[in-house]
Amino acid sequence: MAPKASLYPVLRQLLLAVLLFLGPAGFCAGHDYGDALRKSILFFEGQRSGKLPPDQRLKWRRDSGLRDGADHGVDLTGGYYDAGDNVKFGFPMAFTTTLLAWSIIDFGRNMGPELNNALKAVKWATDYLLKVTAEPDSMFVQVGDAFSDHNCWERPEDMDTLRTAYKVDRNHPGSDVAGETAAALAAASIVFRSRDTAYSRFLLNRAVRVFEFADKHRGAYSSSLRKAVCPFYCDFDGYQDELLWGAAWLHKASRRREYREFIMRNEEILGAGETINEFGWDNKHAGINILISKEVAMGRADYFQSFKQRADDFICSLLPGTSRPQIQYSPGGLLFKTGGSNMQHVTSLSFLILAYSRYISHSNKLVPCGRVSATPDQLRKLAKSQVDYILGDNPMRMSYMVGYGPQFPHRIHHRGSSIPSVGAHPSHIHCKEGSRYYLSPNPNPNLLIGAVVGGPNITDKFPDSRPFFQQSEPTTYINAPLVGMLAYFWAHPY
């Protein structure tokens, strides 16, 4: 007899739990996580802006944005293009830097010979963040007019669009981007503490100053600079979470009591418990709870117990088969949130799951989720299932990382990758002249190795097409947390 209709949701949840925790049956097994790690870091070299160094490995890229900051009489060269366009957006770049640094802090010991390249990726970002925060009580938060840039399809080496530099200051606050930048500088100071003491100290001191600016002059940068930053990286969730996030990283980096007291004093005021299943460039709440709860799990900070409780709630909201799931999964087992570029949610949330699994395993703890409890090993398997899906264990048997595996996206939404390189086509390609490459059905001529695209839809389908930018565009903040996870699974593949 066929099961009653009311049982179908229950059966589907059970099947999904099996798929996620035991591995997707019928898909390819085993991955070269070391190769994927190498490529995921190499991707950042393809996103570099400025004067490229002699050891640049992606040779089809050349110098670009060499006059950035000239409109203000300052040097704002360097940093990263965040995605497939040629604007330097400070908010996602700072978040990318924080997650790259966190990847090294937690998983650097597993990176082997790739650790040095990961350090270079962080330093390329922090050198730029030091430039944009050079003036006290102000900060440059974007270089490039996004509307002008998005009206063109041209290589970064050919840019003839507006390179306007935008800043926040005491009268035009930006606590969100400043708080995230403080977090990035503080996290990076931990990364370089035993490797370059002077640089580490400089990063931490700058983080302190930037955080003071963020806290003293409160406001969202998208309110101050709405016409420039919206709708691209508009702050939809407010600046409060970035203040807590910045304080959490400064506490971790400095161990100063003032930051612990700031966190405890502002925990409720700044909404630490809001939207617990969100984590990305715009919303740091889940990351705050996971980061701070490590100290609780280690038995060092019972006064942060409320953050540990919220971290447990966050984990439970992601687990299939629990009484309070808040996240969808595709039929093939991919974590899915509505909106564009789903892989940003997959990698960021999975990173937190993996990090938390390690924190609680050291203290022999479980995550209580109603009538069931999740073990550290279950969390690790859930995170691994997401990484494996990205690398090819999915219904389309496609790796969503360019250059990894036998089948991967060839028509990614990326200007530099899709237009012939300067080496192949030395003459200037103007704004609208690149449109024919955008519309071409041909594969991109330049492989942006390691780039992870926005990914498939809720039914596991993927159109390998540039115009479908929400699915075919790579971003730095997709790759940054993936770096840490690949390092871990390289060392612990089973």
Residue among 486, 479, 481, 401 nearest 447 (CA): 401
- 447's tokens: 């492989």
For 368, the 3-state DSSP assignment is strand
Non-local (6+) Cβ contacts of 110 within 8 A are: 487, 488, 490, 491, 492
- Exposure of 490 in the CB half-sphere (CA atoms within 13 A): 23
Q: Which residues pair with 142 in a beta bridge?
A: 89, 166
The CA-CA-CA angle for residues 123, 251, 297, to 5°, reads 105
Residue among 78, 81, 84 nearest 93 (CA): 81
- E strands of 17-148, at which residues? 88-89, 138-143
88-89: strand order across its sheet:
88-89, 138-143, 165-169
Pairing of strands 367-369, 335-336: unpaired
CB 203 within 8 A of CB 267: no
What phi, psi does 247 have (nearest 5°)? Answer: -65, -40
What phi, psi does 401 have (nearest 5°)? Answer: -105, 120
* 180 catalytically annotated: no
The CA-CA-CA angle for residues 182, 143, 429, to 5°, reads 145
* 413 catalytically annotated: yes
- 446's tokens: 């330049």
CB 349 within 8 A of CB 279: yes
> Which residue in 158, 413, 414, 460 is the catalytic one?
413
Q: Which residues pair with 70 in a beta bridge?
A: none
* 75 catalytically annotated: no
Give the H/E segment covering residue 169: strand 165-169
> Which residue in 45, 82, 85, 278 is the catalytic one?
85
* 345 catalytically annotated: no
Non-local (6+) Cβ contacts of 459 within 8 A are: 330, 331
Active centre residues (catalytic): 85, 413, 464, 473
